[in-house]
Amino acid sequence: MAVNAKGAVAAGPDPLGLDGRAGSAVPIQLLTPEGERVGHPDYPLEVSAAEVQALYRDLVLVRRIDFEAIALQRQGELGIWASLLGQEAAQVGSARALGPRDMAFPTYREHGVAWCRGLDPARLLELFRGVSHGGWDPKAHGLHLYTIVIGVQALHATGYAMGIQRDGAVGEDGEAAIAYFGDGATSQGDVNEAFIWASVTNAPVVFFCQNNQWAISEPLERQSRVPLYQRAYGFGFPGIRVDGNDVLACLAVTRKAMQAAREGQGPTLIEAFTYRMGAHTTTDDPTRYRLAAELESWKLKDPIERVKAYLVRSQLADREFFERVDAEADQMGARVRKSCLEMPDPAPLAIFENIYAEPNALIDAEREQFAAYLDSFTGEEAAR
Amino acid sequence: MTVLTLSRALNEGLRKALESDPKVLILGEDVGKLGGVFRVTDGLQKDFGEARVVDTPLAESGIVGTAIGLALRGYRPVCEIQFDGFVYPAFDQIVSQLAHMRLRSLGNLSLPVVIRIPFGGGIGAVEHHSESPEALFAHTPGLRVVACGDPADAYVMIQQSIRCDDPLIFFEPKRRYWDKAEVDMTGGLAAAVPLDKARTLVSGTDVTVLAYGPMVRTCAEAAVAAAADGRSVEVIDLRSLAPLDTEAIFASVRRTGRCVVVHEAAISGGIGAEIAARVTEECFYHLEAPVLRVCGYSTPYPPSRLEEHYLPDLDRVLDGVDRTFGY
């Protein structure tokens, strides 16, 4: 337990807390873009064929959900969509490293994380369709609500982790929080404040930064002169760079960092080196600020293709398996589409719901006025 | 009854809250060993430990942001912002996160976070230490905003605020921290005036004066002075700024026919403007005069050698009262 009865933080053996976990600029990789399984001394990952198949299925399904959502936006059914294209491995790998009692704090692009935490994809669409601002129960899924303001959730995750400490839930069987954010967010004060809080309180939190190279139109060099994983050292905890397009490496690195956090070894910053293959959102036009050649080079590192190549090459899956996954993806796409089209608009008076936990005379009075106003039309229609 | 300063009354109220609910935490800069720059948390860390009374790093957004996370984990954090003018770095966490979370979660989440802010001027301080930012928060749906005006209310209201399941901004009149008054520490909260209700401090028949925080005492004194001139002034301590206790306000104005709102904050877009609009809408045929405001000017808070001219005082309140009889 990191916080003793007096609340003092136990000192680690290494004042910087790095414990030999200092990272390298070469991203941790366990599966090459060509689909070749490689080893890493610090991350010996044992995965069965069934586990790799399951990860492949996750990757394919979340990409399909994403495609369907983009199509729905183009057809006017969603107001906007933030595509995760290219970041499937970073999200699925890290989220599959979480236990049911861990809590994830996403941005608005973490559709792969949401999928792995068991959230119905249709629930995600509510926010982008404008039916709710999120609306799911974070406790039921170990998934906090999508957060749109950049980086603020890093502090929420850290505070939550401080709660884990106070609950005495740090130890071998402990819990941890994980904060997702992007490269742009690392410039935000809140993310840096979260690093400070997590460091000085030794909080059980993992900071998972998907460096997708772009913050809308701004490349990484507008945010940092040093590799992002190295930021952690200045705050006194380890930073690790992982190949964000390698689902196995993301799984292994996140697993280790989460376990370290749960056991009371404090925070880790993981920089998942990846690429936003799509636009920032459906309103964005990346052709105005980046070269097509860059996208082409990243296509060769596609996070799904390499898993498929590995499964085929190692004869861990047959054609029937891939056909089955594709068929499931088709069904998923159809189901997501159907859910979206059938999604009712909330009743007008829902504007006044869930603002306060306790009775509020002001809201009550305005609701009453608006209800009376609405009723006045019903009377008019009846009169006609 | 025990005679306590307002600062001590808050301290005793916080102590009661810490004793009665193990989930209550205090977070802030210098709240531990030092006991806060106004000593409101004096001795609490010693008695409740460093895990419950937490000296945080020096960053206001971090204080509120981590308090949100702690509340998501089931805690009831009470944050101290050291001075009014230092709350702005936490503005996004308060306005866009804290205030929105319940709606964002369709009622699945409550964030019982209290943010204590010493506010107002009159202490000869440097810039950023005398401001009254309450309207910014009262304008923010999803927050409750209250201000205590005397030791008895301070003791009760801080406990009520901590028990409230909504995020709440708690304003403390810093120039009244050392005012002393009798506080009943034996009565339970059940018998107390509810947190969202105003309280009639002085009953009167000629004009309603509405105040909160540091101006409550000023207005009570003005009522005494006005009485000497034969004017019966009713003084209401609003206590809750969001939501306003409009029922109490309207009932009083309908009886007196005149209304003066007093606050230190800049007059434009302030609480007084909101009250004037609502009173005009709801009490129009009872009014003998327009609702007048006696407030700070629409300027940044001046250097302290000028603050006595900026701040409403007894004479300016009386002047406002007089003017309502000029229509």
The Cα–Cα gap between A292 and B39 comes to 62
Contact B68 A158 (CB under 8 A): no
Residues ≥6 apart with Cβ < 8 Å to A340: A72, A77, A78, A122, A125, A129
Give the pLDDT of residue A22: 57
Regarding whether B178 and B39 lie in a shared domain, the answer is: yes
User: Which residue among B191, B212, B232 closes a domain?
Assistant: B191
Domain that holds residue B176: 2-191
- Residue pointed to by tokens 């610090």: A42
Q: A162–B70: do the CB atoms touch at under 8 Å? A: yes
What is the mean pLDDT of the segment spanning B12-34?
98
Beta pairing, strands B114-119 & B76-80: parallel
DSSP-assigned states of every residue in B29-96: TT-SSS--TT-TTTTHHHHH-TTTEEE--S-HHHHHHHHHHHHHTT-EEEEE-SSGGG-GGGHHIIII
Task: Judge if B59 and B41 occupy the same domain.
Answer: yes
The pLDDT assigned to B187 comes to 81
Whether residue A6 is predicted with pLDDT greater than 50 in this model: the reply is no
First-residue to last-residue Cα distance in chain B: 45
Q: What single letter denotes the amino acid at residue A192?
A: N
Are A5 and B49 inside 8 Å of each other by CB?
yes
Contact B105 A136 (CB under 8 A): yes
Shared-domain flag, residues B145 and B262: no
Q: What is the CATH number of the domain that holds B43?
A: 3.40.50.970
For A220-264, the pLDDT digits (tens) are 999 999 999 999 999 999 999 999 999 999 999 999 999 999 999
Q: Which of B103, B145, B240 to mutate to test the interface with A (most CBs of A within 10 A)?
A: B103
Q: How far is B65 from chain A (nearest CA, A)?
A: 5
Active-site residue, selected from the candidate residues A96, A276, A306, A337: A276
Instruction: Give the model's pLDDT for residue A25.
Output: 86
User: Contacts of residue B54 in chain A, CB cutoff 8 Å?
Assistant: 7
Contact A156 B72 (CB under 8 A): yes
User: pLDDT tens across B192-230, in order?
Assistant: 999 999 999 999 999 999 999 999 999 999 999 999 999
Same domain, B282 and B159: no
Domain ranges of chain A: 49-342, 352-383
At B283, which CATH number?
A: 3.40.50.920
| Amino acid, res. B124 | G
How does DSSP classify residue B174? G
ipTM of the complex: 0.96
Distance CA A323, CA A327 (A): 6
Q: Of B191, B216, B251, which closes a domain?
A: B191
Out of B129, B263, B286, B309, the active site residue is B129
Which positions in chain B touch A167 (Cβ < 8 Å)? 73
The angle subtended at Cα B158 by Cα B172 and Cα B163, nearest 5°, is: 145
CB distance B63 to B28 below 8 Å:
yes
The answer to whether residues B145 and B77 belong to one domain is yes
Query: d(Cα B140, Cα B93) in Å, to the nearest integer?
Result: 12
Taking 60 as the threshold, does the pLDDT of residue A19 lie above it? no
- pLDDT classification of B290: cutoffs 50, 70, 90: very high
pLDDT at A159 over 50: yes
For residue A150, give the chain B residue with the closest CA.
B92
In which element (H, E) is residue B118 found? strand B114-119
Q: Which residues contact B148 (CB under 8 A, 6 or more apart)?
A: B6, B10, B154, B157, B158, B170, B171, B172, B173, B213, B239
**Alpha carbons B80 and B28: distance in angstroms, whole number:** 5
Predicted confidence at residue A2, as pLDDT, reads: 39
Beta carbons within 8 Å of A244's beta carbon, 6+ residues apart: A27, A87, A89, A90, A210, A211, A212, A250, A272, A273, A274, A275, A303
Res A21 pLDDT > 80 = no
Sorting pLDDT into bands at 50, 70 and 90, what band is B188?
confident
Q: What span, in angstroms and rounded, lies between the C-alpha atoms of B294 and B322?
A: 12
Q: CB-CB: which of A145, A154, A158 is closest to B104?
A: A145
pLDDT at A13 over 70: no
Which pair of tokens denotes residue B248? 């109490």
Contacts of A355 in chain B (CB under 8 A): 102-103, 141-142
**Are residues B47 and B114 part of one domain?**
yes
Largest Cα separation within chain B, whole Å, is 60
Q: Report the domain count for chain B.
A: 2
pLDDT at A383 over 70: no
Per-position b or e across A310-334, b if 16+ CB within 10 A of its CB? bbeeeebbeeebbeebeeebeebbe
Both B37 and B69 in one domain: the answer is yes
Measure A148 CA to nearest chain B CA, in Å. 10
Residue B235 contacts residue B259 (beta carbons within 8 Å): no
In angstroms, the separation between the Cα of residue B19 and the nearest Cα of chain A is 16
Which residues of B fall within a CB distance of 8 Å from A149? 92, 96-97
Residues recorded for chain B: 327
Tokens 């719901």 found at:
A353
Under 8 Å between Cβ of A209 and A195: no
> Hey, which residues 150-169 in chain B have their CB within 8 Å of chain A?
164-166
Q: Alpha-carbon Rg of chain A, whole angstroms?
A: 22
The string of pLDDT tens digits covering residues A162-221 is: 999 999 999 999 999 999 999 999 999 999 999 999 999 999 999 999 999 999 999 999
pLDDT at res. A3: 41
Can you tell me the mean pLDDT for B17-29? Answer: 98
- Do residues B42 and B171 share a domain? yes
The answer to whether residues B105 and B221 belong to one domain is no
Given B143, B172, B191, the domain boundary residue is B191
Chain B positions in Cβ-Cβ contact with residue A152 (cut-off 8 Å): 65, 92-93, 96-97
Alpha helices in B77-234 (DSSP H): 91-92, 101-104, 134-138, 151-163, 215-228
Give a three-class secondary structure readout of A90-125: HHHHHHCCCCCCCEEECCCCCHHHHHHCCCCHHHHH
Q: Is B129 a catalytic residue?
A: yes
Question: Nearest to residue A205, comparing CAs of A137, A254, A245, A243?
Answer: A254
Could you tell me which CATH number the domain at A49-342 has?
Answer: 3.40.50.970
How many C-beta neighbours within 10 Å does residue B215 have?
Answer: 32
Beta-bridged to residue A272, according to DSSP, are A210, A242
User: Quick check: B102 and A356 CB within 8 A?
Assistant: yes
How far, in Å, CA of B253 to CA of A271, rounded? 62
pLDDT at A8 over 70: no
CA distance B266 to A382: 50
Chain mean pLDDT for chain A = 93
pTM of the model: 0.95
Judge if B317 and B213 occupy the same domain: yes
Q: Do residue B153 and residue B218 come from a single domain?
A: no
Decide: A96 and A251 in contact? Cβ < 8 Å: yes
Inter-chain contact B62–A136, Cβ cutoff 8 Å? no
Kindly state the tokens that stand for A351. 């504007």
Say yes or no for a CB contact (<8 Å) between A138 and B109. Answer: yes
Can you tell me the mean pLDDT for B130-146?
Answer: 98
| 329-368 of A, contacting B, C-beta below 8 A | 353-358, 360-363
B104 phi, psi to nearest 5 deg:
-60, -35
Nearest to B106 among A154, A193, A354 (CB): A354
The residues in A 76-105 lying below 8 A from B, measured between CB atoms, are 103
Verify that B171 and B225 share a domain, yes or no: no
Please state, in angstroms and as integers, the Cα–Cα distance from residue B70 to each residue in A323, B73, B156, following that order.
46, 5, 24
Q: What is the pLDDT of residues B240-279, one digit of tens each?
A: 999 999 999 999 999 999 999 999 999 999 999 999 999 9
Distance, in Å, from the CA atom of A194 to the CA atom of B61, rounded to the nearest integer, reads 10
Find which of B66, B109, B250, B275 to mutate to test the A interface (most A CBs within 10 Å of its CB): B66
CB-based burial of residue B281 (10 Å sphere; 0-12 exposed, 13-18 middle, 19+ buried)?
exposed
**How far, in Å, are A76, A78, A281, A290 from residue A286 at the CA level?**
21, 20, 10, 6
